[in-house]
Amino acid sequence: MRTLLVILGAAIGAPARFAIDQYFRKFTNKPYGIFVVNVVGSFVFGLTINSAQNTYALFAIGFAGAFTTWSTFMLDFFLAYEQKKYKDAAINLGASIVFGLLAASLGMSLT
Q: Was 65 annotated as part of a binding site?
A: yes
Confidence check: pLDDT of 111 > 90 = no
Q: Was 68 annotated as part of a binding site?
A: yes
| Domain encompassing residue 33 | 1-109
Alpha helices in the chain (DSSP H): 2-25, 32-48, 53-56, 65-67, 70-82, 86-109
Number of domains observed in the structure of the chain? 1
Sorting pLDDT into bands at 50, 70 and 90, what band is 100? very high
3-state secondary structure of 52: coil
What digits encode the pLDDT tens for the residues 54-86? 999 999 999 999 999 999 999 999 999 999 999
CA 94 → CA 30, 101, 109, distances in Å? 15, 11, 22
